[in-house]
């Protein structure tokens, strides 16, 4: 009996030791070679407070990488890693405030640990956080089996700064997932990243993969709205003075009108995903322009009925024309604000500006030519059938 008891105790002890010895941080790699790990000491999990350990790893081809707690940037506790310019890395604890650059948060207790640095083309930050269970704006259970995390990254030149509040450019991509922290519980309250797997891309303890990247919605929104306001609306407006075919004009503009609303819907989805809402001039002005554009088809129809009856332009005609021109200019300006908000490259800004300038010249020339023809024909050119 005594032997059986001792043997059972030995087996249970070995299993327990083996469990903690085999425990390792949970890991999520949203793209190849960018990986984030979290480990929670047993004591911290039991107390639901205390130290946790984080690792950020990425190639040196990235300007910065970051991950943080929560399901969106707003109210998130964010950890940003970038090169310090002296062969090591800087890790900055930052407060997420929405769709603006997160700023350094001195409240977060971070310590860069052994094994951190830049080597063989990789940046690695092993970090101890002493108070990551709660932060201004939120809290996280350290024994949760479904903890929300987010991440973002940016390729480009090294920041090479030790400044914890160094400026970072808008991210290339963004991701979100769940960590099962119970699978990342480790026995010791010490650096768990030394002497363990460092360069595998295997996801461990991940409850949910990434959702659709909001950048896809942002890009689709930008492309559609640029086509609508820079190309389709101006060309559709030029149909009247150049060809005098009101049916073609109406159909063209109505199709552009429908496409505009599709682009607007994509913009709403994107803003909700990144929690931008109405916190920028682009979203505010864009909503105003699209909403006001909603009555333009009705003005066009009333203008057409007036012309058919009187064979001349009236007050509603000039309202339709100049109201549309004003909204067109506002829409093009708002496209520029959108590029600025997205921190678009200079190439995209130049292409957009040149295209808008060319279309402006085409529109003005078309309007001048149409006015010349209208005056010569006594104002009847506008109502030809297509």
pLDDT at 23 over 80: no
Contact indicator for 129, 92 with CB cutoff of 8 Å: no
The position carrying tokens 């409240």 is 107
**What is the maximum span of the chain, computed from C-alpha positions, in angstroms?**
117
Tabulate helix, strand, coil % of the chain (nearest 5). Answer: 45, 25, 30
φ/ψ of 39, rounded to 5, equals: -130, 140
Report CA torsion sign: 294, 300, 305, 309. positive
Please give the pLDDT value at position 192: 93
Give the residue ranges of DSSP H helices in the chain: 2-22, 42-47, 214-226, 233-243, 246-273, 281-293, 296-310, 315-341, 346-376
For residues 14-33, give the mean pLDDT.
66
* pTM (predicted TM-score): 0.59
pLDDT at 117 over 90: yes
**pLDDT per residue over 283-307, tens digit each?**
999 999 999 999 999 888 887 777 7
pLDDT at 34 over 60: yes
Report CA torsion sign: 323, 357, 255, 237. positive
Mean pLDDT for all residues in the chain: 84
Share of residues in the chain with pLDDT > 70 (%): 84
- Tokens found for residue 331: 């829409």
CA angle 242, 246, 248 (to 5 degrees): 85
pLDDT at 345 over 90: no
pLDDT at 21 over 80: no
Contact indicator for 296, 327 with CB cutoff of 8 Å: yes
The contacts of residue 346 (CB under 8 Å, 6+ apart) are none
Contact indicator for 87, 118 with CB cutoff of 8 Å: yes
Neighbours of 156 (CB within 10 A): 12
**pLDDT per residue over 167-182, tens digit each?**
999 888 878 899 999 9
Please give the pLDDT value at position 274: 66
Rounded CA Rg of the chain: 30
pLDDT at 210 over 60: no
The position carrying tokens 């919605």 is 217
Please give the pLDDT value at position 2: 43
Neighbours of 367 (CB within 10 A): 17
Please give the pLDDT value at position 93: 95
Q: pLDDT grade, residue 22 (50/70/90)?
A: very low
Q: pLDDT grade, residue 240 (50/70/90)?
A: confident
pLDDT at 122 over 60: yes
Strand partners, 52: 129
Please give the pLDDT value at position 217: 86
pLDDT at 70 over 80: yes
Kind plus residue range of the DSSP H or E element containing 124: strand 122-129
């Amino acid at each position: 009996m005594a032997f059986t008891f001792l043997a059972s105790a030995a087996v249970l002890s070995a299993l327990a030791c083996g469990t903690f010895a085999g425990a390792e941080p949970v890991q999520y790699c949203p793209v190849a070679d960018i990986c984030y790990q979290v480990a929670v000491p047993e004591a911290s999990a039991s107390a639901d407070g205390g130290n946790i350990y984080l690792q950020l790893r990425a190639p040196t081809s990235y300007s910065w990488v970051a991950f943080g707690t929560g399901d969106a940037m707003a109210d998130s506790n964010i950890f940003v890693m970038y090169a310090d310019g002296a062969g090591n890395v800087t890790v900055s604890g930052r407060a997420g405030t929405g769709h603006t650059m997160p700023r350094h948060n001195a409240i977060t207790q971070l310590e860069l640990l052994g094994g951190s640095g830049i080597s063989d083309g990789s940046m690695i930050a092993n970090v101890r956080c002493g108070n990551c269970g709660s932060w201004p704006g939120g809290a996280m259970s350290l024994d949760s089996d479904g903890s929300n995390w987010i991440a973002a990254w940016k390729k480009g030149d090294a920041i090479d700064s030790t400044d914890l509040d160094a400026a970072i450019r808008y991210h290339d991509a963004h991701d979100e997932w769940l960590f099962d922290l119970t699978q990342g519980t480790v026995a010791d309250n010490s650096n768990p990243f030394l002497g363990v797997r460092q360069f595998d891309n295997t996801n461990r303890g991940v409850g949910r993969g990434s959702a659709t990247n909001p950048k896809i919605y942002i890009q689709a929104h930008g492309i559609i709205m640029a086509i609508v306001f820079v190309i389709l609306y101006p060309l559709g407006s030029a149909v009247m003075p150049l060809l005098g075919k009101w049916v073609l004009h109406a159909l063209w503009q109505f199709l552009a009108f429908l496409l505009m609303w599709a682009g607007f819907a994509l913009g709403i989805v994107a803003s909700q995903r990144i929690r931008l809402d109405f916190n920028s001039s682009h979203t505010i002005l864009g909503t105003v322009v699209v909403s006001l554009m909603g009555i333009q088809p009705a003005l066009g129809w009333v203008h057409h009925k007036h012309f058919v009856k009187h064979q001349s332009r009236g007050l509603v005609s000039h309202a339709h024309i100049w109201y549309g021109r004003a909204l067109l200019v506002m829409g093009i300006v708002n496209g520029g604000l959108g590029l600025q908000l997205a921190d678009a490259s200079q190439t995209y800004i130049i292409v957009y500006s040149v295209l808008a300038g060319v279309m402006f010249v085409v529109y003005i020339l078309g309007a001048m030519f149409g006015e010349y023809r209208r005056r010569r024909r006594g104002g009847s050119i506008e109502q030809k059938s297509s």
